[in-house]
Amino acid sequence: MTAQPLHFRLLSLLSVIMFFAGWYAITALHLAPANLLPSMGEVVDAFTDILHNGYRTTTLSEDILATLGRCIGGFGLAALAGVPLGLWMGRSRALAASLDYIIQFMRPLPPLSYLILLILWLGTGDASKVALLFLSALPTIVMASMAAVRGVKQQRIQAALACGATEAQVFRHVVLPSCLPMVMTGLRISLAGTFSTVVAAELMAARDGLGWMVFSASQFLRTDIVMMGILILGVFGMALSWGLLRFDTWLVHWRGRE
């Protein structure tokens, strides 16, 4: 995972500039109805307004923290439970077989389909949302961790055994580190999914959070606030993924170099 050469990064930047330029041109030339597509100035105004006065009952930082907190809570719990479970399933055929259908059933299930049940069971507070994110993140993490254990190169294990390793030492010193690349990939995929699910969860039952703000503003046709909310969501989503990617390149320094 080497850094992009400068001219490619400029190219990436150029497309962003093109996007904003196009946006500016459309609103400046009045090519779209103003209530459907706000101008950039209006969005910036909405941002400074909400930054200072908050949106309805919450401040902007409260909304951001609420969304990030749910995300990190649900994802973190899923990682804490899913990685050990998946690793164990990779070792134990019996455990893998007993959970196989449940995981396979959960994996393609749209999380919003069971959100309403979670709200009925756990209420409209954070518990139902964190539970939703936990359940939606779990299958990917479990599957990746299980596949990681099964994919450990036999010769690596044999090399360790011939150095006198016990079963427990093989697991601790060879299997675990060998699994890191695939486990980390599973975590990165599932984090992206978690972030898109958190917003959807906030659309249905919430009193704060970025998703709630966007949904609420859309009901008053405040497209400037909607636009601002989307931009903030996108930036935080990118930041989360980027952070985890940096952690991955640091931790799994041998990725793709064996």
Partner 1 sequence: MPDASGSVARVSSEAFVTFDNVGVTYGSGAARVAALENISLSFRAGDFVSIVGPSGCGKTTLMQTLAGFLKPSHGRVTIEGRTVDGPGADRGVVFQQPALFPWLTVAGNAGFGPMLRGAAKSQRTEVVERNLRMAGLWDFRDRYPYELSGGMQQRLAIVRALANDPKILLMDEPFGALDALTREQMQEELHAVWRRTGMTVLLITHSVEEAIYLGTDVVVMSQRPGRIMERIAAPFARRDERNSRAVKSLPEFVAMREHVLSLIWRSGHS
Q: Which residues bind partner 1 (CB under 8 A)?
A: 153, 155-156, 158-166, 169, 173-174, 177, 180, 253-254, 257-258
Q: Which is nearer to partner 1, 98 or 166 (CB)?
A: 166
Please answer whether residues 71 and 240 qualify as being in contact, where contact means their C-beta atoms are separated by less than 8 angstroms. Answer: yes
CA distance 255 to 53: 47
Q: Which is nearer to partner 1, 57 or 155 (CB)?
A: 155
Comparison of 158 and 196: residue with beta carbon closer to partner 1: 158
**55 beta partners:** 58
- Least distance from C-beta 132 to partner 1, angstroms? 35
3-state SS string over 61-126? HHHHHHHHHHHHHHHHHHHHHHHHHHHHHHHCHHHHHHHHHHHHHHCCCCHHHHHHHHHHHHCCCH
Supply the minimum distance, in Å, between the C-beta of residue 149 and partner 1.
16
Angle, to 10 degrees, between the axis of helix 111-122 and the axis of helix 126-150? 130
Residue nearer to partner 1 on the CB measure, 92 or 158: 158
* Closer residue to partner 1 (CB): 40 or 161: 161
Residue 185's nearest CA partner among 237, 254, 87, 252 is 252
CB of residue 146 to partner 1, shortest distance in Å: 20
- Closer Cβ to partner 1, 242 or 254, answer by number: 254
Angle in degrees, CA 175, 177, 181, rounded to 5: 110
Q: How far is the CB of 2 from partner 1 (least distance, A)?
A: 14
Residue 38, classified by CB atoms within 10 Å of its CB into exposed (0-12), middle (13-18) or buried (19+), is: buried
CB of 180 to partner 1, least distance (A): 7
- Residue with smaller CB distance to partner 1, 184 or 198: 184
In angstroms, give the least distance from the CB of 184 to partner 1.
12
Distance, CA of 3 to CA of 9 (rounded, Å) = 9
Contacts of 183 (CB under 8 A, 6+ apart): 83, 86, 87, 141, 144, 145, 148
Least CB distance to partner 1 at residue 176 (A): 10
